[in-house]
Structure 1
Amino acid sequence: MTKTPGEWLEKAISDGHINYLEYKKFTDPTEIGSGVDTSIDEKAIKDFINELKLLRKVYYHPNIITFYGITKDSSGYYNIVLQYADDRTLREYLKMNFTQLQWTDKLRIAKEIAFGLLFLHNNNIIHKDLHSKNNLIHQKQPKIADFGLSKQINEISMTPNSIVHGIPAYIEPKYFNDHKYKRDNKSDVYSFGVILWEILSGRPPFQSFESIYALTIHIFKGNREKPIEGTPP
């Protein structure tokens, strides 16, 4: 008999395939982000399991966030337990430290994100939602996180609604024209290119746009952020 995603998850925990951490052992919890409700929705649990599988496959790389296991909170919701990044997101890190960063620092950050992304691609994983808010910084070291939309390359499929996932400034513009366009590793490279611009400039891309629709049209027409003057070759 085929197991439901919820049953699969419970069995994986009981068999020791997924490390389970008792929620009551955590002290002074502070919420820094949240995802889907995985206590009642089977599709959400299936997506949750997919993220677990991908994290278990790649978490040991120094530029991928470390996965410790899962827990179930007092409300019955599953939570993924990940490494805490002491400098929070790349966007926050740049905002707080940009004036002190040298070109060598910017190059190092860019290279380490590239190493993490290359590792994902070498393991046939496409991130699909790469941006400066899910690249975390821990002790000055970048770590790619948030595998909620990630897929094995052989599992990739596109639906007409897929365009709504992600931050438009980082999405490969081909999606805005063809909703059936399949994401691949080149899509991640486009997102990485936008992250490079953010590392060089110290600010989010297309900051003046308040409307997502207006920004989407702007990018679709071929507009891009201007190169940062003074950037070394």
Structure 2
Amino acid sequence: MDSNIQNENSVPKEWLENAIFERHINYIEYDKFTDPIEIGIGGFGKVFKCEWKDIELTVALKCLKVDTSIDEKTIEDFINELKLLRSVSCHPNVISFYGVTKDSNGYYDMVLQYADDGTLRDYLMTNFTKLQWKDKLYIAKEIAFGLLFLHDNNIIHRDLHSNNILIHQKQPKITDFGLARQMNEISMTSNSAAHGMPAYIEPKCFIDPRYKRDKRSDVYSFGRT
């Protein structure tokens, strides 16, 4: 693999451009996507449902914000999520990552699997009375399998809740890795409670500002979900 791709300390935008040039990340021309419909807001900007016309596939484009200036830190966080997705999206309980595109504003967007039943929260609100206990157990088990796969790859999600789990053809898919980190990248002095939904954050994060989230933190969030 090219040394520029391996260098995690390289300038974020250069890393992404090198990764695309060396074909380590799939690049799809923006004009391949049609019929955009806004479906939500992600950590970096809006999410659109689009049709990938070449292969007749419905996808989601997760876009960098275009209403504010994009600084280096925003690009770095975007690429961190991209790197993590690239390494774990092969699992059936993690949202699939197809590549990146560059929109008409010149910003890179992630091309992701579109989940036809939306978030787990919406799915349960719509279908809860129809679901049997075996169906609910299946959902919980599949989320646990996805979370175990992340942890086996030393990835901590740090923002797991029912809006960051999608349902596609009745299969749970963990998504939104904006706060996720590799275990060796988490600082002992970082304030773990600074980001995420408070109801899903383990109480110790609010007691000790130096507390470092680990795999147990995700398990707590999973239990709350």
TM-score class, shorter: 0.7 to 0.9
Partner of 2:43: 35
Return the letter of the residue paired with 2:165: N
What is aligned with 1:201?
none
Partner of 1:88: 118
Q: Which is richer in helix? A: 1
Structure-1 residue corresponding to 2:25: 18
TM-score (norm 1): 0.79
2:190 aligned with 1:133: no
Select the residue among 102, 119, 135 that pairs with 1:105: 135
Residue deviations 1:32-59 (CA, integer Å, cap 9, x gap)? 2333247731111111111111111110
Amino acid at match of 2:27: Y
**Distance in structure 1 (CA, Å) of the matches to 2:193 and 2:131:** 35
Report how many residues are paired: 195
Q: Within 2, Cα distance between the matches of 1:42 and 1:72?
A: 17
Indicate the RMSD between aligned Cα atoms, in angstroms.
1.7
Q: Contact between 2:192 and 2:212, CA under 8 Å: does it hold in 1?
A: no
173-182 vs 154-163, which moves further: 154-163
**Radius of gyration: which is bigger?**
1
Residue pair 1:66, 1:83 contacting (<8 A) in 2 also = yes
Q: Spell out, residue by residue over 1:136-168, the C-alpha distance to the aligned partner (whole angstroms, 9 max, x if none).
A: 000000000011111111111255654231111
- Native 8 Å contact 1:89 1:132 kept in 2: yes
User: Counterpart amino acid of 2:187?
Assistant: S
Name the structure where strand makes up a greater proportion of residues. 2
Counterpart for residue 220 of structure 2? 190
Instruction: Please state how far the C-alpha of 1:92 moved relative to its aligned partner.
Output: 0.4
Q: Helix, strand or coil for the counterpart of 2:110?
A: strand
2:102 to 32, 53, 72: 72
Q: Contact (CA 8 Å) 1:158, 1:179: kept in 2 or not?
A: no
Of 123-132 and 1-10, deviating more is 1-10
TM-score by length of 2: 0.82
The residue type equivalent to 1:155 in the other structure is E
- After TM superposition, give the deviation of residue 77 of structure 1 in Å: 1.9
CA distance in 1 between counterparts of 2:10 and 2:129 reads 54
Q: What are structure 2's unaligned runs of at least 5 residues?
A: 45-63
Paired residues of 2:93 and 2:171 also in contact (CA < 8 A): yes
